[in-house]
Every structure is written in C-alpha cells, then in structure tokens.
Structure 1
Amino acid sequence: MIYPHNFEQKIGFDQIRQLLKGKCLSTLGEERVDEMTFSDNYDEINQRLEQVVEFVRITQEEEDFPAQYFFDVRPSLKRIRVEGMYMDEQELFDLRRSLETIRDIVRFLQQSDEEEETENSPYPALRELAGDILVFPQLIARIDSILDKFGKIKDNASAELLRIRRELSATTGSISRSLNSILRAAQSEGYVDKDVTPTMRDGRLVIPVAPGMKRKIRGIVHDESATGKTVFIEPAEVVEANNRIRELEGEERREIIRILTEFSATVRPQVPALLSSYEFLAEIDFIRAKALFGIDIKGLKPSFENKQIVDWFQAVHPLLQMSLAKHDKKVVPLDIILTRDKRILLISGPNAGGKSVCLKTVGLLQYMLQCGMLVSMHERSHAGIFSHIFIDIGDEQSIEDDLSTYSSHLTNMKMMLKSCNGESLILIDEFGGGTEPQIGGAIAEAVLKRFNLKGTFGVITTHYQNLKHFAEDHEGVVNGAMLYDRHEMRALFQLQIGNPGSSFAVEIARKIGLPEEVIADASEIVGSEYIQSDKYLQDIVRDKRYWETKRQNIRKREKQMEDTIARYEQEIQELERSRKEILKKAKEEAERLLQESNAKIENTIRTIKEAQAEKERTRTARQELTDFKQQVENLEKAALEEKIARKMEKLREKQERKKDKKAKQANTPETPVAPKVRPIEAGDYVRIKGQTSVGQVMEISGKNAVVMFGLMKTNVKADRLERTDAPRAAPLSSKATFVSSETQDRMYEKKLNFKQDIDVRGMRGDEAIQAVTYFIDDAILVGVSRVRILHGTGTGILRTLIRQYLATVPGVAHFQDEHVQFGGAGITVVDLK
C-alpha cells in the first residue's frame, strides 16, 4: 500500500519513470515502465532485481547481445485477427526483424537445454524468464520467401507476380525505346532541345517540349511546367503501351494484396502465441532500461532480506546526484540504520540542512528497490521490505476541499494511524508543524507515541524540543542530527545518529544580520535555560565531530603503518631471494673461473715439460697457480659478502629509524648513553668511515690494522676505522593482523569491479601466463568460485601452456573445456577452491 495518491510525485519517482522511458528501445518497454508498480512480495522483488543485475553484467561483459529491431507489431497482429485483414509490406518487414530479435535473445539466454548446464547458467534469472518462449523459425522462413532483404515483395513470391513483373518490365522497355526514337527524330527536326530526356508525369512516360512546338509532335498533353515554358506530351505511339502499364501495375498491386492476405491467414491462428513472445520482448526492453539506468547512477542490489530493515551505507539520491554532476559537484552520501530496536529516526537540525533530502532519499530508494530497480548505495548495505509506505511532506492546502496545511497534515496522520503496522514505513516532514507550537508539539508527541507502540518504522523531521526528549526517553525511537559548521555557518548535509540537532536559530539570525537587540530580546523571551541547552547541544555535536575526525585520522595512520610494515617485509623477502640468486650466480661464475684456471695450469705444466725444466721449478709453478686459484675464489666470495652486507645494513638502518619514530610517538624516549672513547683493539668490529661493510680487527700493528672483511684480509690505516656493533641476523618478519575498514572498502570495490572472464587471444605465451597469473590471484582474493579464460583454439599451444600453469596453482580445484555451445575448447572454465 502506498499513500497518498501522489506519492511518486512527492519523492520524485515520476522523473525516474521518464528517464527509464528514454532508455527503452520501443513502445514495448515504455508501456512496461508505465505499468511498473510497487510490490511487497519478497520473491517477486528478488527475482526482478536478479534479472536487472544479470543484464548489467551482460551490458558490461557481452558484446553480442541482440539489441536491434525492438518493433512493436502488436497492433498489426491484433488487427489481422479479423478475417480478411492483412499486414502491409512494412508491417511484415518489422514482424520478421523483431521475430529474429526474439529468436536471438532466447538463443542467447538458453544456450543449452542440458540440466547440468542450466544449473551453471551465467544468467539463471533471465534464462528462467525466457522459459518456453516460442521463436517461430518457420514463420521467419515463410516471410523470407516473400520479402527481400530490403523489405520489398520478391518477384518470385508467386508465379503470377513473376509473370506480371516480367511483362511490366518488357512493356516499360518497349515504351522507353519508342520514346527515345521519337525524341531523336524530334531533336533532328529541331522541335526539341538536344539535352532533353523522357520524363514521368502521372505515372506515364512523356517528352518535354516547348509550347510553340507542341503541335509538331502528335500525342496527348498531360501537364505543363510551373513557368509555362514546357509542356509534357505523351506521343500517340506509346499511349496504348502506357495504358497497358497502368493495367499491369493494378494487377501487381492486387496480387501483392492477395499474397499478404494469404500469409496473414496463415499467421492468424498463431497470433496469441506471437503476442506472448512480444510480451517477452517488452520485458527484455524494460529490464534493459532498468539496467542502463542502474549503471548511470552506479546502482547495485544490496543484501536484500525478507524483513523490515534499513541499514544503508553511502546512500545517494539518484536525481540529486545526476543534477549536481552536471555542475561537477558531488552528493554527500547518507548513512542510515533502522532496526527493530531503533525503528523510528527523529531528525532535527537547521533549515536548509538536508533533512527533507534525507527523508526523500529514504523514500525514493526504498520505493525503487521494491519496484525491482537497482539503488545507489554501498555494496555492504542491507535493505528490507515494507508492506506499506506512507509519506507526509510539503504543503497540501486545498481550496476545493477547504483544507489548511495543518488540516491536511492531520488527515495524513489519521490515515497513517489507521493503516500502519509493524511492516510499515512512515516518512513525515516537519512533524507537528503548521499550527501553534505548543499544541502542535503535543499532538505530534501523542501521534509519535502511537506509531512507536505499533512497531512502525519511520523517518521523521522536526524542530520540536519535546519530540527530541521523547526520543531520548523511549526505546524504539532514536535522535539524529543534520550536521552544521557553526564557525563557517554552512550546512554539512551529513546525518549523525545518536544525538538531536540544534536549529542554530540564533547563529543564523546573526549571520543574516538581524539586529543584536532583537536577538537579545528573543533570547530573554525564550529563557536562558533554553539558550544554554541549545548551546550545550551544539558543543556536544562539535565535540563528536572532532573526535570522529581524530578517529578517522588514527585509522588512516594505522593503514599507513600496515602498508609500511608490509613493504619492509616484502623488501626483506626480496633481499633474501636476491642474496640466494647472487650466490648462485657467483658460484657459477667462480666455477667458470676455476675451469679457466685449471686450463691455464695444465697449459703451464705442459709448457714446462716441453721445455724439460726441473721438477722443483714445475712444482713451484703449480703451487703458484693453486694459490692464484684460491685467491680468485676468496676475492669473489668476499666481494659478494660485502655487497650483501651493505644491503642488509641499509635495511636495518631503516628499521631502526622506524623503531625510533614509534618510540617517540609512544612518548617513551630513551636517554642515549654517550659511549666511552677507547682505541680500537684486536677483536673489535669496525667499518671503514663512510662505508657499510662490517669487519673484525685481527691485529694492530702501529698505526695499521689487519681487518677481516668476510673471507678477505685487508690492511687499513687505524684512523680510517670506526667501531660498530657486531653484524646481526635480519629480524624475523611479522605479519600485520589488523585490517582497517579502508582496506575492506578497497576489497569491496575490487570485488565489485572484478570480471569473471579474461581474453588472452593474440598474446605471446609469457604474456598470457603473466595475465592469467594476475587474474587467478585476483579471483582467489575476491572469493570468486568460477572464472573463464578465453584463449581460442588455434594451434592449441596457448591452451596447453595455460593448463600446465593452472595444474601448479594450489587454489585451483578443477579446470575443463567450456561447453561446446559456449565456446568449447577455445575457453577454459576454472573452478577455484
């Protein structure tokens, strides 16, 4: 039940209907938009929403959905139900093309009749809608035998029509030859200009002649030009032939009518089934319009529950959103919650602060949802279903009914009290307004009490203090405030639930420039107690905003800390992998150098033997080369150790700086202890000033020191060294377990934008594997159970590479070819764990 009769106009839904009509392809869909109604049947609404959600996916992911030739031929079909009536060529052409569209849509949605494929259909709700819709392939074939591709009757539509058109063509050719002969003779005699050609007048071929020469050519004058300088003569020789053409054209028209009448007679028994198929086409047009509108407003289907609940995040009024978008402005989103414990939200705050917009947003989005439309709010939102929606907003004065504004409000209150229950949603703007404040507030409080006792859900705006106190004292009613910046004197259009709002009457009066003595008198009249309570209320709202901002900043810092920790962990892992890779390459390079060294050794020995040198000299040469080999190996290893140590030291310094920063933030600074200066001794760990590599002093010899850097000893001046800590192992990485709501929001957005298909056709093997790797990782991350990889058939190499990769992924449960009607071996369907 919807109340009052102009409910849609009050919330702006009439504009939504017009926008939907603009997205329809034909009058078929426009009629469905006009017929769209509010429903309180959960299963029906859920099915409508699923249909729109699936069509949004089709619009965004499919390129071959049939969206042409949405013609409404229902009037023609209904007309031919009368015996003897027929469809003309254009109507028949529209019937043929629209039937083809219906056939293609049903084929698209019903891609398989097998039971197992039905269960895994990508568009189950739309597939069910297609159901048993007939597609009339024989009728399409019959029309194709009558019409050509341009929608004209074919010559061979019947044997009689073929004979008539052949005779018509021959007769026309004969007349043309005769006229050309007569025209050439007249031109040679000078009766007609050289550039004149035969023309058509009243369906007859004639020759243009100057008025002075019209008696030179024997025939019938049919017409003359507007200026009178040309007359059109039909020569006597072709009069009979032109008459024959007229007769043949009449015969042709009668034969075409006979063909169309005969065809219409065969269609007549199928008219009811055809009309049913066109109702399906109308429904598809309607669903398509809702899907396109949903895309425009960034709409979605929230978590829809078969109970009374409003738990919305970032809800946006779609009409206001589109209006502000034209001026590059954005709507402030609305967060609102109504549950069994807090059913009625009482919103207060300054005028022009957004209270009415908030109320209309709730009414419009709930109404759109129960009409089967997507709504503009966050994916995390939860929405329920109401059997009645009542609204009281605006001035309802009526001279005819002798109703004042307040009388109309009371009439609405009476209707609401009579009809509302625990499944109703009431929306009241300026509750109790329109009359003397004290009695108006008292009546409003009494009515609000009855609403609460009946368990009704609602959103109510008011300025009355007694209603705010009522909300604080009674369970089921909760206060809410539209925020206002007292310093900048501007509305923030943000709803905050939990505290009542101030009207900021004194502040707004000062901003407008009302004399200060007037404000002082008003404050004295209302009393200092009221002014102070209003001021305290403003302070509470201000403080709440301050701490809310602090809380958001803390969450933001926590998110930055998470990112920093994760980045450091990744760097440590990368460094460890890099270290292993460097060692591996170094070993390979060292092996190569050793092999070269061995070759050099053998070559030296062979040279010595050939020179018949002494055995002692040979032994000395071999020892020298062995020492050379060991030295090369030590140098390579030392260089690698030093390089790795430098990287590890940089990473440790970063972590130390981070720890120092965290210690300062925790207000627990440590008092540094100045180290005692003592000379460098053997066993100390040192590094060269300006360098990061750490070594150990082996011995001190005067001003020189022998330092072991890794496996390499080095003589260094002692004054070039500085003492440092012993090398430490890299700290164990720790995983961040806190996940902020901002991270969750990103995950929701990623899940919302994730597409379950990827096309890697045309890519090289390594490119395709990389793309599939990222795609499978994202699919597992957002929790998708099934994805499709489009790689084509070709030589099958790409398919083999992808499947070899999939077999190594732990998160892949199963993969197989797509069904033959969906793409067969050209597509791999992957089921994820």
Structure 2
Amino acid sequence: MIYPQNFEQKIGFDQIRQLLKLKCLSTLGEERVTEMSFSDDYEEIDEILNQVTEFVRIIQEEDGFPDQFFFDVRPSLKRVRIEGMYLDEQELFDLRRSLETIRDIVRFLQRSEEDDESTIPYPSLKRLAGDIAVFPQLIGKIDSILNKYGKIKDNASSELSRIRRELASTMGGISRTLNSILRSAQSEGYVDKDVAPAMRDGRLVIPVAPGLKRKIKGIVHDESSSGKTVFIEPAEVVEANNRVRELEGEERREIIRILVEFSNLLRPSIPEILQSYEFLAEIDFIRAKSHFAIQTNSLKPALENEQLLDWTMAVHPLLQLSLARHNKKVVPLDIELHQQQRILIISGPNAGGKSVCLKTVGLLQYMLQCGLLVPMHERSHMGIFSHIFIDIGDEQSIEDDLSTYSSHLTNMKMMMKSCDERSLILIDEFGGGTEPQIGGAIAEAVLKRFNDKKTFGVITTHYQNLKHFAEDHAGVVNGAMLYDRHMMQALFQLQIGNPGSSFAVEIARKIGLPEDVIADASNLVGSEYINADKYLQDIVRDKRYWEGKRQSIRQREKQMEDTIERYQKEMEELQKSRKEIIRKAKEEAEHLLQESNARIENTIRTIKEAQADKEKTRLVRQELSNFRTAMDEQTSKEVEDKIAQKMQRLQEKQNRKKEKKSVDNPTVLQQKAPKIVPIAVNDYVKLKGQTTVGQVLEINGKNAVVAFGSIKTTVKTDRLERSNVSPQKQEPAKSTFVSTQTHDQMYEKKLNFKQDIDVRGMRGDEALQAVTYFIDDAILVGMDRVRILHGTGTGILRSIIRQYLDTVSGVRHFADEHVQFGGAGITVVDLA
C-alpha cells in the first residue's frame, strides 16, 4: 500500500519514470515504464533486480547484444486477426526485423545449455527467455516476399514477375518514343535543348512552351505554376501510357493478393507472436532500467527479506543528476534502521537537508521495490516494506476546506489506522502547522502509537519534546543534520545518536538581526534553554571530531588489511608460479632429451659413415653422455634460479616501502656495476657450473653455437661463461674399417627406405621426433630428396618441422610441394 495518491510526485518518482521512458527504444518499453508498480514480494523483487544487474553486465562487457530493431507491431497484428485484413509492406518489414531481434535475443541469452546455473552467464535473463517462441519459418517466408530494403520482390510470385517485366518493357518503349519525339522537337526548335521527359499523373510527358504546344500532337496534362510550361503527352505514347496504368493496377492487386495470402498464413500464430512481443517489451524495459542504473552509478545492494535500512553512501539520483550538470556532488547519506532502532527523529537547522534526507529514503526504497537498482555503496543492506506512507509539503485544499494542519492530521489518522510492523512512515515537520505547544503534544502522542505498533519511520521536527521522547523510549532514536557553527553553513550530513540544534540564535545573528532583539529573545526563552542548546551543539561537535578520528582509524585498518591480503595473494601466486616453473622446466628437459637422442643418432650415422674404430665410438658416446648430464643439471639449476629470483623480487618489493630513495640521501654513493664483456666467436667457454670446455663457432642474437668436442649445440649466451683452459684436441683416427655385416645392413635399409613420411594428426613433439629419425635415416642411406606430409590445418605442425629442418646441416633446401601434388600441405626436402 502506498499513501497518498500523489506519493510518486512527492518523492520525485514521476521524474524517474520520464527519464526511463527516454531510454526506451520503442513504445513497448514505454508502456512497461508506465505500468511499473510497487511490490512487496521478496522473490519477485530479487529476480527483477537480478535481471537488471545482469543486463548492466551485458552493456558493460558484451558487444554483440541484438537491440537494433524494437518495433511495436502489436496493433497491426491485432488488426490482422480479422479475416480479409492484411499487413502492408512497411508493417511486414517491421514484423520481420523485430521477429529477427526476438530470435537473436533468445539465442544470446540461451547460449549456455548446461544444467548447472553457475556456468550460465545470465541465469535470470535466461529464465525470462525460457518459454519464448521464435518463428524462423515466418522470417524465411517474409524473406521470400521482401527484399533487404523492405520492398516486394519481383519473384514474390510468378504473376508479379510477369507484370513487372511487361511494365519495364512498356516503360522502356515509351521512353524511347518520347526521346525520339523530343530530339525531333529540339532539332526543329519547338523545345529547349536541356529539356527532358517528365512525369505527370503517372504518365510520361514532354515540357513545352505554351506558344508551341500545337506543334506536338497530344494531350495537355498539366501546366506549371508560373504558366510558362505545359506538359504534353504525345499521341504516339497515349496507348502505351494507358497500358502502364493498367499494369500498375494489376501490380497493386497482385501485391495485395500476396500480402493477404501471407496474412492468412500468419493468422493462426498471432497469439504466440503477441506473447513474444511481450518479451521484447520486457527486454526494452530492463534495458532502459540498466542504462539509468549506469547513469546514476546504481547497483543491487544485499536484499533482505525483512524490514531493514542499513545504507552506506546512499544518494538521491535526481539531485545527483542535477548537481552533476554544475560539476557538483551530492553529500551521501548513511542511515541505519532495524528492529531495535526503528524510528529516526531528525532535527537540525532549516535548509540543513532534513527534507532531502526524508525524500532520499522514500525514493530509494520505492525504486528498489519497483525493480530499480539504487545509488549506494555495495555493502549496503535493504529490506522490504509492505506499506509506505508519506506526509510532506503543504496540502491545503480549498475544495475540501482543509488547512495545512488539518491535512496533516488527516494523514496522521490514515497512517495510524493502516500502519503495522511492516510499514515505513515518512513525515516532514511532524506536528507543524499549528500552535507549537499543542502541536508538539499531539505529535508526541501520535509518535507513541507508531512506536507501539513497531512501525519503521523517518520523521523530521524542531520540537524538543519529540527529541526527549526519542531519548527515553526504546525503538526511537535521535538524528541530527550537521551544521558548521564557525562557517555558519549546513553540511548536509546525517548523524544518528544525538538530536540536532536549530541554531536559531546563530542564524539570526548571521542574518543581521539586532543584538538587543536576540538578547530579548534569549531572555524570554530562558538561559537554561539557551545553555541546553549550546551543550547540544558542543556534544554534536565533539561527536563529529571523534567520529572523524574513528573513521581515520578504520581507513588505516582497512589499508593494513588490504596490504596483508595483497601480500598473501602474492605468496599464493608465487607458489603457483613455482609449480608452473617446474612444469615448464620438465618440458624443456624433455625437449633437451629429444635433442640429445637426435644427436646420438646423428653421431652414430657419422661414426658409420667415417668407419670409426671402437675406441673412437666409445669416446664420442662418452662426450654425448657428459653433454646430456650437463643439460639435466643445468635444467635443475635453472628451476632453482627462477624460484630464487621470484622470492628475491617479492622480498625486494616488501623492503622497498621501508627504504628511502637514494636521491634523498646525498651521502649514499652509487656503485658502478662491473662492465660485462660479451662472449665472442672463437672464445673458449663452458656451461655455468660445468667443467666441459667448448669453443664458440657462431653468435646469433642471444644464442651461440658451441662445439663440445665433436658435438655442436645451440646454447643461450647467458648460460655460458669464459674458460681459461682450451679443450684437449683429439687425434684423428689413423684407420677406418667397415665390416661386411654393416655393408649388408646399410644396403638392406636403403632398399626398404620410403621417401615419404606422414605425420598428420600427430602432436607437435611426436611429429618432430618422427621427422628427426626420418631425416637422419634419409641422410644415412644417401637419399637426395624426401617428402614430409604434414597437412595445412593451422600451420603449426608445418612451422615446427621447418624450424627443425633449418638446424640440420645435411638439409640443403626445403620448400612447398607443387600445387598440383599437394602444395603447402607437403614439404619437399633436398639433402646434401
């Protein structure tokens, strides 16, 4: 229940409605704004607020929401329900585009089909779209009738196609005849050279000067407004123009027949289509509410199924928009009402913000229960009320013979009769409008009834007896609108716990009232009252001071909590990073292992080709084993180094806050970092932490090609360090010998070797290993050319294989196969 009838006007909600209508895309949404009403159903309010919250996310995070065509074709559909009626071209075009929009919105909201709602991006909106029918067959049928510009297609029917072909042919004949007549008339001087055929009453005519109109045989159809031109239809085209008229009539009749036929097809589906338009109206309404929420920085607070006001930084949205136009900000409102503190008595100076506070409470509570998000801090809590009553402003009525006070009493009577523990009452200047003493007494008696009924409320007053009542009765609490006594200006801040002073003496003195008048007034009231008011001001001032201190302490505690939480998160991320580093290190180790295996195979091939003896083979295998051990140790060391670096960065970040910048202390000397000489070609180097010495053959950016004995490998330069000892040179083998068995095995392998390998469908590492063995064998048996089938796909497999081929010295050249034989899906490799 909402009281009185002009409740929305009193709190400014009628202006909210107007702003929402401006944000609607069609009359569909505007009707919903008009129908929007107050509800006290917790489940309904919660669902509506969730819908708006989800749509705010769509606006802020999504780019592809389909909101292009919101057309209200419901009147046309209702008209077509009558047999024989039909939609015209424009109505049909609007129907097609809006049906497409409904279909696209339903698809957008039902993108996730999982049963678990936690995985659905917009569950409340999805439920809204759950039973909505879409009409792909109707859309397809309309597409067969209309083109993309909303005009009837030539091929909408065979008869229409015939009519339009004949019409085009006839019009072309008329145009050619007219142009011939026109050129003849121009050559004979009857018509100016720049004249062209014109259209009058749907017939092609020639503009001629009045004095020469008899030079061209035909019918005069029109005359220009100046009288200097007449429009003649030559006799040669009269019959053709008549035929054009007939064909245009046939065309109109055929178009109507097509539209009637479609409307007959549409008629059985109209009830379901109208239901889908109700959904479109709801989406337009939700969209408007969401844009208004974004404009006013509104959100959904924690909603409680009880009577409660626990608001932080609440803002009057209309006042916020008004002040924003002048680059000003609203002072936010903090207010708390609950079962033990239900009625708030607000006192303070005039123009101090009491009425604004009252209207803010009424407007925000009403907005929430009408399904609108509200501008306040996210940690706020809001409850649900079954009734909201308001008594604010001057309600004099000449017709009802009511004075201001009489109207207030009428409102009080209505409130006392209807209010209960689920009601919220809002009263401005309680007890005002009559003689103060009796007015205050009646107000106190009414306040007692409200408190006995456990009603919630916000009441503004200047009466001292109501302030005392709040101090002496449980359930009622005082509040003050703060005032800067030194600056003599209102602060527009509400403070709950103490009554406010009216600052009447101070304001009178600021205005310039004579001091003797102020002194007489003070004597009339009595020093006790004046002193009590001063004590009250001092209490409020001291409370403000300590409240500021407490707020400052809270902010510092919050900063400390945030800092601790941030460091805890960083530690957790560090642990995750440690696991990730180990995982990557294992992958690198696996890659190195594969590289080592490939090198072993290459070494075996080299040994066999060079016909090395057993001692040489043993030495080479030993070098490979040392290399593999060095790689494993280096990988483990890298893992530990990365973890240590992460720990060091975190420690430095923590210490940075404690240290002063070196520029602030002139005595601090900056130490110069030793100059690092980069590693160059021919330098003797070794892996950090290892003893095996190699020689740098090439430098490629951050990578170096190093020869460790007879093994060449590519190593990052930051993993190398210089060595003062050169590697021991191995004496070349003095003789070679290849057994008959080896010759036979090589011959058999060459006979069975296939020049193609197919790695399609393999993972990258599997394919690389297979290609490695394949190329090694191809070199070993002396093949000149081989082919690798990797397919096109995303191109990753092709890229990995070609990167490997670039590193193989035995590969002379590689390229795509000829387009006729496979193109980019096959790599042809020429071997040295």
* TM-score, with structure 2 as normaliser: 0.68
Q: Which residue of 1 aligns with 2:43?
A: 43
Q: Where do residues 488-527 of structure 1 align in structure 2 (5 Å cutoff)?
A: 488-527=487-526
Q: Which residue of 2 aligns with 1:215?
A: 214
Does the alignment pair 1:485 with 2:512?
no
Q: Which residue of 1 aligns with 2:256?
A: 257
Q: In 2 relative to 1, CA 231–43 (structure 1 residues): closer, same or farther, beyond 3 Å? A: same
Q: Distance in 1 between matches of 2:349 and 2:71?
A: 52
Q: In 2 relative to 1, CA 319–209 (structure 1 residues): closer, same or farther, beyond 3 Å? A: same
Q: In 2 relative to 1, CA 447–214 (structure 1 residues): closer, same or farther, beyond 3 Å? A: same
Deviations, residues 271-293 of structure 1 (Å, cap 9, x unaligned) = 11010000000000000000010
Q: Distance in 1 between matches of 2:119 and 2:567?
A: 44
1:692 shift after superposition? 12
Whichever residue aligns with residue 447 of structure 2, its letter is: L
Q: Distance in 2 between matches of 1:255 and 1:656?
A: 89
1:550 shift after superposition? 2.8
Q: Which residue of 2 aligns with 1:340?
A: 339
Q: Which residue of 2 aligns with 1:320?
A: 319
Q: Where do residues 383-532 of structure 1 align in structure 2 (5 Å cutoff)?
A: 383-532=382-531
Whichever residue aligns with residue 144 of structure 1, its letter is: D
1:159 shift after superposition? 1.2
Deviations, residues 772-804 of structure 1 (Å, cap 9, x unaligned) = xxxxxxxxxxxxxxxxxxxxx96789xx9xxxx
Q: Distance in 1 between matches of 2:455 and 2:205?
A: 85
SS at structure 1 position matched to 2:166: helix
Q: Distance in 2 between matches of 1:206 and 1:656?
A: 95
Mean Cα deviation higher: 208-217 or 88-97: 208-217
Q: Distance in 1 between matches of 2:130 and 2:276?
A: 11
1:120 shift after superposition? 2.1
**Contact map agreement 2:26 2:72 (CA 8 A) in 1:** yes
Q: Where do residues 636-655 of structure 1 align in structure 2 (5 Å cutoff)?
A: none
Q: Distance in 2 between matches of 1:795 and 1:5?
A: 72
Q: Which residue of 1 aligns with 2:351?
A: 352
Whichever residue aligns with residue 361 of structure 1, its letter is: T
1:557 shift after superposition? 5.8
1:72 shift after superposition? 0.1
Q: Distance in 2 between matches of 1:317 and 1:653?
A: 44
Deviations, residues 494-522 of structure 1 (Å, cap 9, x unaligned) = 00000000000000000001111111111
Q: Which residue of 2 aligns with 1:99?
A: 99
Q: Distance in 2 between matches of 1:33 and 1:545?
A: 43
Q: Which residue of 2 aligns with 1:598?
A: none
**Contact map agreement 2:114 2:120 (CA 8 A) in 1:** no
Q: Which residue of 2 aligns with 1:12?
A: 12
Q: Which residue of 2 aligns with 1:172?
A: 171
Q: Distance in 2 between matches of 1:570 and 1:72?
A: 52
Q: Distance in 2 between matches of 1:382 and 1:566?
A: 25
SS at structure 1 position matched to 2:55: helix
Deviations, residues 189-231 of structure 1 (Å, cap 9, x unaligned) = 2211222211111111111111121111111111121222211
Q: Distance in 1 between matches of 2:405 and 2:334?
A: 31
Q: Where do residues 51-90 of structure 1 align in structure 2 (5 Å cutoff)?
A: 51-90=51-90
Q: In 2 relative to 1, CA 24–656 (structure 1 residues): closer, same or farther, beyond 3 Å? A: closer
Q: Distance in 2 between matches of 1:55 and 1:567?
A: 31
Q: Which residue of 2 aligns with 1:243?
A: 242
Q: Distance in 1 between matches of 2:419 and 2:33?
A: 28
1:653 shift after superposition? 13
Q: Which residue of 1 aligns with 2:144?
A: 145
SS at structure 1 position matched to 2:310: strand
1:119 shift after superposition? 5.4
Q: In 2 relative to 1, CA 517–367 (structure 1 residues): closer, same or farther, beyond 3 Å? A: same
Deviations, residues 364-384 of structure 1 (Å, cap 9, x unaligned) = 000000001000000000000
Q: In 2 relative to 1, CA 564–312 (structure 1 residues): closer, same or farther, beyond 3 Å? A: closer
Whichever residue aligns with residue 145 of structure 1, its letter is: S
Q: Distance in 1 between matches of 2:566 and 2:166?
A: 88
SS at structure 1 position matched to 2:43: helix
Q: Where do residues 662-677 of structure 1 align in structure 2 (5 Å cutoff)?
A: none
Q: Distance in 2 between matches of 1:200 and 1:85?
A: 33
1:657 shift after superposition? 10
SS at structure 1 position matched to 2:375: coil
Q: Which residue of 1 aligns with 2:549?
A: 550
Q: In 2 relative to 1, CA 494–795 (structure 1 residues): closer, same or farther, beyond 3 Å? A: farther
SS at structure 2 position matched to 1:337: strand
Whichever residue aligns with residue 315 of structure 1, its letter is: A
Q: In 2 relative to 1, CA 571–690 (structure 1 residues): closer, same or farther, beyond 3 Å? A: farther
Q: Distance in 1 between matches of 2:256 and 2:655?
A: 94
1:560 shift after superposition? 7.3
Q: Distance in 2 between matches of 1:545 and 1:65?
A: 49
Aligned length: 595
Does the alignment pair 1:535 with 2:561?
no
Q: Distance in 2 between matches of 1:56 and 1:569?
A: 32
Q: Which residue of 2 aligns with 1:361?
A: 360
Q: Where do residues 201-212 of structure 1 align in structure 2 (5 Å cutoff)?
A: 201-212=200-211
Q: Which residue of 2 aligns with 1:233?
A: 232
Q: In 2 relative to 1, CA 143–398 (structure 1 residues): closer, same or farther, beyond 3 Å? A: same
Q: In 2 relative to 1, CA 135–557 (structure 1 residues): closer, same or farther, beyond 3 Å? A: closer
SS at structure 2 position matched to 1:322: helix
Deviations, residues 470-511 of structure 1 (Å, cap 9, x unaligned) = 000000000000000000000000000000000000000000
Q: Where do residues 704-783 of structure 1 align in structure 2 (5 Å cutoff)?
A: none
Q: Distance in 2 between matches of 1:239 and 1:164?
A: 19
Deviations, residues 443-493 of structure 1 (Å, cap 9, x unaligned) = 000000000000000000000000000000000000000000000000000
Deviations, residues 330-382 of structure 1 (Å, cap 9, x unaligned) = 00000000000000000000000000000000000000000010000000000
SS at structure 1 position matched to 2:371: coil
* Structure 1: runs of 5 or more not aligned: 573-647, 659-688, 694-792, 801-833
Identity of aligned residues (%): 79
Deviations, residues 683-736 of structure 1 (Å, cap 9, x unaligned) = xxxxxx98899xxxxxxxxxxxxxxxxxxxxxxxxxxxxxxxxxxxxxxxxxxx
Q: Distance in 2 between matches of 1:571 and 1:262?
A: 70
Deviations, residues 548-579 of structure 1 (Å, cap 9, x unaligned) = 2233344556677889999999999xxxxxxx
1:92 shift after superposition? 0.3
Q: Distance in 2 between matches of 1:91 and 1:360?
A: 45
1:245 shift after superposition? 0.5
Deviations, residues 287-342 of structure 1 (Å, cap 9, x unaligned) = 00000100111000000010000000000000000000000100000000000000
SS at structure 2 position matched to 1:511: helix
Q: Distance in 1 between matches of 2:668 and 2:178?
A: 109
Whichever residue aligns with residue 122 of structure 1, its letter is: P
Q: Distance in 2 between matches of 1:94 and 1:656?
A: 69
Whichever residue aligns with residue 396 of structure 2, its letter is: Q
**Contact map agreement 2:145 2:152 (CA 8 A) in 1:** yes
Q: Distance in 1 between matches of 2:512 and 2:335?
A: 35
Q: Which residue of 1 aligns with 2:603?
A: none
Q: In 2 relative to 1, CA 281–557 (structure 1 residues): closer, same or farther, beyond 3 Å? A: closer
SS at structure 1 position matched to 2:505: helix
SS at structure 2 position matched to 1:115: coil
Q: Which residue of 2 aligns with 1:381?
A: 380
Mean Cα deviation higher: 394-403 or 512-521: 512-521
RMSD: 2.9
* TM-score, with structure 1 as normaliser: 0.68
Q: In 2 relative to 1, CA 433–207 (structure 1 residues): closer, same or farther, beyond 3 Å? A: same
Whichever residue aligns with residue 58 of structure 1, its letter is: I
1:4 shift after superposition? 0.3
Whichever residue aligns with residue 161 of structure 2, its letter is: L
Whichever residue aligns with residue 316 of structure 2, its letter is: H
1:183 shift after superposition? 1.1
Q: Which residue of 2 aligns with 1:270?
A: 269
SS at structure 1 position matched to 2:53: helix
Whichever residue aligns with residue 346 of structure 1, its letter is: I
**Contact map agreement 2:112 2:119 (CA 8 A) in 1:** no
SS at structure 2 position matched to 1:491: strand
Q: In 2 relative to 1, CA 360–656 (structure 1 residues): closer, same or farther, beyond 3 Å? A: closer
